[in-house]
Chains A and B, each alone.
Chain A
Amino acid sequence: GAGVSQSPSNKVTEKGKDVELRCDPISGHTALYWYRQRLGQGLEFLIYFQGNSAPDKSGLPSDRFSAERTGESVSTLTIQRTQQEDSAVYLCASSTRGGSNYGYTFGSGTRLTVV
């Protein structure tokens, strides 16, 4: 597709369940990023993948959060044993390369609600 695709667009889950969020970046984009946005707030960096390099996981808030990326394509963000404070919009972005001279293209996000 032409843009970054995220699925599902909305997810309601019970506290304690695991969830998987998917991101399909723009074809050919080597860099992929996950951000979290709580209601009315700015974006919080979670994790960054660049090609075959080791990902920068420094933004993951706890060991319940993990992410994988297959080559330079799909990425999955997994949240285990969800808590109510995990409720947020999870945004994925990709860019042509990982350098600072390249802009992000964001998806529309997955709105996660933990009840």
Chain B
Amino acid sequence: DAKTTQPNSMESNEEEPVHLPCNHSTISGTDYIHWYRQLPSQGPEYVIHGLTSNVNNRMASLAIAEDRKSSTLILHRATLRDAAVYYCILRYNTNAGKSTFGDGTTLTVKP
């Protein structure tokens, strides 16, 4: 199964953009890239997902490399409430139930 690689931690200043990277070099052609975030003592929360094209929603933007071997979650203006663990996962077209969540990136937002 394809795995993802993320930095353990990142820091950002409030109201500045944040770019969270994810590598997935062994991704298959029909696997979707999903991002979730988890606040302390809560279950993960869906953020965004995509296949090939860049995606935007009210929470964030997802930039997917042309070869699909990496992606970047973009928070346009970080707030203190964005401090969380961010998980980049692959949802496999051949086995959509069995996604692997790594340790994610812990984002710290400084006021």
Among B49, B97, B101: residue with most chain A CB under 10 A = B97
Q: Number of contacts between A and B (CB, 8 Å)?
A: 67
Contact B98 A98 (CB under 8 A): no
In angstroms, how far is the closest chain B Cβ from the Cβ of A94?
11
Q: How many residues of B contact A (CB 8 A)?
A: 27
Contact A108 B87 (CB under 8 A): no
Contacts of B34 in A (CB 8 A): 103-104
- Interface-facing stretch out of A12-20, A37-45, A65-73, A80-88: A37-45
Contact bitstring A100-115, B, C-beta under 8 A = 1, else 0: 1111111111000000
Q: How far is the CA of A22 from the CA of B49 in the complex (A)?
A: 28
Dominant secondary structure of chain B at its interface with chain A? loop
Known contacts A91-B43, A100-B30, A104-B36; is-contact A31 B97 (Cβ 8 Å): yes
Contact A103 B49 (CB under 8 A): yes
Please report B residues at the A interface, Cβ cutoff 8 Å. Answer: 30-32, 34, 36, 41-46, 49, 51, 87, 91-93, 95-104
Please report A residues at the B interface, Cβ cutoff 8 Å. Answer: 4, 31, 33, 35, 41-45, 48, 50, 56, 58-59, 91, 93, 98-109
Contacts of A101 in B (CB 8 A): 32, 49, 51, 91
Q: How far is the CA of A54 from the CA of B78 in the complex (A)?
A: 43
Residue of A nearest to B94 (CB): A100
Given pairs A4-B43, A48-B97, A100-B93, 8 additional interface contacts (CB within 8 A): A41-B103, A43-B87, A98-B96, A99-B93, A99-B96, A100-B96, A102-B91, A104-B46
